[in-house]
Chains A and B, each alone.
Chain A
Amino acid sequence: MDRRNFLKRLAATGTGIALSGTVGTLSKAHAAKGGKEDFGEIKSLKVHCISETSWFDNATLGKDIKAAGGINTNQYDVAYTEENLGGYAALVEVEALDGSKKKYLLDTGWSNDWVDYVFAKDGIDKMLQSKEIDTLFISHDHIDHYFGIESTLKHQPDIKIYFPGTSMPKSFELLKGADFSATPGCPKNSVPHTGELVVTTPDKLYKIQDGMALKFFDCPATLQVRGENVLYFKIKDKGYVTVTGCCHPGILTLLSHARRNFKDGNKNYGCYGGLHISVFENWDPKFDDIIKGVKSFNMQKIGCNHCTGWIWAEKAEQSGLPIVHGTDKNLSYKKVGSLSRAKTSNVYLGNGDEMVF
């Protein structure tokens, strides 16, 4: 911090806005210094993995993307191999301090065929019809988190949706009803959304209920997608938990954000979701840095899957991070990812697994 403080003081003195040592600063990151946010506490949190297999074979998806021009191509311009597609969705169950429970849906997968199947398996379709779930958080408009939107809307067209403000124009069109399915693997939606739409922006924290908040981070992702909504929970006596779709902002960004901006923000208890690290099971020395960085936050429970990269989870566990293991439940699903079939260790929370904080 020293160097930065020095620079700040330098800048402040230079422009003559110094106020008794603590400085009115030009930095956005510093805005919350005045008062740390306190959004309450919950008693416990349960996350159920509806599906984390966004696609079943990495190499096949890689080939489709490469053929379309590579990882920076617009996601609506890639012709995907349809049999390969699954999707990401999670059921988030919150127990408030008074013991009352509430369910939320995070993301809505990709292939309608797969999403309908996993929704039926877990009874999500019924929860949507009965409005036991009345809110959907779209973490970001990536293929595997959003293209399956019709599978949710057909059960509850007026569901309340939190939607990233940086989503692509076509993603907004899809919400209102559109058909892009002429390109294989691209979505269609014949059930226009009629409910409340909260378009999220980076400048505020969206409190969902006591102890639960949504924060939007503007950050780059692949296939021309930007930004991600992240769920933060504060669990009584334990600390903060993040629940993410892909975690494109980076897990350390989320942990640092909590530390810097939230009350008791240095108490990080755990996380669930994709961590977007070694997505295609490729490695970069920077991913070793992430293991080292996460270790410095002393988390108690790390539940990861999806785009975390199986290799990262395995290496993180070897280096002493508390990775929560999944079960073999996913092997009984009608489709199984090529990684699970390769009999890798259960460092992923797989389809049908549950994690309690």
Chain B
Amino acid sequence: MTRTQDRLFWLEERQLAPRWSTAVSGLVNLAALIVAVAIVWWVFFSIEGIFKLYTPLLGFSMVIWTLLIILWQAQLFDFWPLSRGFLENAHPLSKGAVLTLITIAVYLLLLFGIVWFIIGRLGITYFNWQSLAKYGELGQDMLSTRETASWAMLCLSIPFFLVGVWFMLGIGKDLFHELGQPKFGLANWLFVAVIAIPMYVIFFHPHLGSMFYPKQIYAAVPPWWESIAQTNSAEYTVGILFCSVIGVFLALNLWDGWPFDLVGRQPWRFFYFALCSLVIGYVIFRIQLYIFDYLWYEAYVGGQNEANFGWRYSHTVTMANFVLVIAIIQNTFFGPAYEKMNRIVGSIIKTVVAIILGLCFAWAYYNWGPTLLGVTEGVSHPSENASAFLILIINIVMIQDLFMDRWPGYQLKK
């Protein structure tokens, strides 16, 4: 088995080119994306569809975990166990189908097999809605327990995402490079888990412990961030850590990875990368809170909807995701349009376009979403979270990009 350091990852090796002009190829991809999103949304998520998974937290937890699994396959496992020959020669549709099926299988095995079925039944009650209903007495009926368990899985995904990004992009092949696949992927993945699990325990478990009556204070400390955040809700930590993940992807898609590429030597690169993501995340989080204060007056303790601190924290994630979706689509489908430009000028234009179109997209979602998607009306509706829809879009762009070589608008250069 070849050592990882000796060979390029498939994503480094492959060369993609637009099939037609950049504009036509990008638009064809955009059209394909819209069709795919519409089908997946209506079949799986919409409350008027077949599976009705947008509860909203169940659907939200699903799209975020599947996105993570897609990234693991590409960035940690280099598409193992598929051969390079298959990746080079198979039709994008069959590659997409095979890799998506692997994603779903890993999702079911990891989340429903290990977290939900095994841990939720034999270890931590709140990861399994049936266990909650079984052991919980008052108020633990299916309508709310499913949301509680989904919220727990959602929270669990966030440190895995953030630390995963630090490893995938901040370390890359610098650690365990003497191993081949799948050892390389597995070693990195386990390292991520070792850091992410205690982070989950510190930043999210106190919220979960407070979701019951009486408070589970001997299993989880009461939310320690209350005096800083003005709320007991972990939406505070969700906001900061999730914005940190978004910050990394914004930098990749808008600024070619700047400023994360300023430090090259390990282990400094890793620590710098992690710190930089947290700083950028915090800035994205804080600036939006100032804007919200301006739009909706100041939040106050115990306030509802727009006046609620927790809602505002999670709304920073939602709004940042609107911008991110546009940034990713722009870079993935229309990237070559910016290639000939001066790097700084290109970055500025990309950023301005992403923010303006992102805001337009948000406006369109809140105005037309209820009709087109069957989501609930109202920006601050407690049972509405646009991030579920937005991350679903990112999932499909990633499938198109990483699994299908940006088919149909793009193709492999051979």
A: which residues have CB within 8 A of B? Answer: 1, 3-4, 7, 11, 27, 29-30, 58-59, 62-63, 65-66, 69-73, 219-220, 222, 224, 226, 249-250, 252-253, 256, 278, 280-286, 288-294, 296, 309-311, 314-315, 339, 342
A22–B15 alpha-carbon span in the complex (Å): 61
Known: A69-B48, A70-B52. A281 touches B310 (CB 8 A): no
**Distance in Å: Cβ of A283 to nearest Cβ of chain B:** 5
Known: A62-B143, A282-B139, A283-B212. A293 touches B48 (CB 8 A): no
Known: A7-B293, A71-B383, A282-B139. A252 touches B302 (CB 8 A): yes
**Interface residues of B, CB < 8 Å — how many?**
53
A219–B381 alpha-carbon span in the complex (Å): 8
Which label, helix, strand, loop or mixed, suits the secondary structure of the B interface?
Answer: loop
Q: Are B140 and A282 in contact (CB under 8 A)?
A: yes
List the B side residues contacting A282 at CB < 8 Å. 139-140, 144-145, 147-148, 211
**Distance in Å: Cβ of A281 to nearest Cβ of chain B:** 3
Of B230-238, B240-248, B347-355, B357-365, the one contacting chain A is B230-238
**A-B pairs with the 9 shortest C-beta distances?**
A293-B302, A281-B139, A250-B304, A285-B232, A62-B143, A282-B144, A220-B378, A59-B141, A290-B302
Q: Are B304 and A62 in contact (CB under 8 A)?
A: no
A240–B109 alpha-carbon span in the complex (Å): 56
Q: Are B47 and A73 in contact (CB under 8 A)?
A: yes
A27–B293 alpha-carbon span in the complex (Å): 11
* Given A315-B213, A342-B138, 12 other A-B residues pairs in contact with their CB atoms under 8 A: A3-B298, A4-B298, A63-B143, A69-B47, A70-B47, A72-B383, A220-B382, A252-B302, A282-B145, A283-B210, A289-B231, A289-B233
B: which residues have CB within 8 A of A? Answer: 47-48, 52, 54-56, 138-148, 207, 210-213, 223, 230-234, 290, 293-294, 296-298, 300-305, 307-310, 375-378, 380-384
Q: Are B139 and A280 in contact (CB under 8 A)?
A: yes
List the A side residues contacting B52 at CB < 8 Å. 69-70
Q: Are B298 and A224 in contact (CB under 8 A)?
A: no
List the B side residues contacting A72 at CB < 8 Å. 47, 54, 56, 375-376, 383-384
Cβ contact of B233, chosen from A70, A285, A339, cutoff 8 A: A285
Q: Are B301 and A296 in contact (CB under 8 A)?
A: yes
Cβ contact of A293, chosen from B234, B300, B377, cutoff 8 A: B300
A58–B142 alpha-carbon span in the complex (Å): 10
Q: Nearest chain-A residue to B295 (Cβ)? A: A27
Q: Are B302 and A281 in contact (CB under 8 A)?
A: no
A49–B292 alpha-carbon span in the complex (Å): 39
For B211, B310, B376, which residue has the most chain A Cβ atoms within 10 angstroms? Answer: B376
List the A side residues contacting B308 at CB < 8 Å. 286, 289
Known: A62-B141, A290-B302, A292-B301. A285 touches B293 (CB 8 A): no
Known: A63-B143, A280-B143. A291 touches B377 (CB 8 A): no
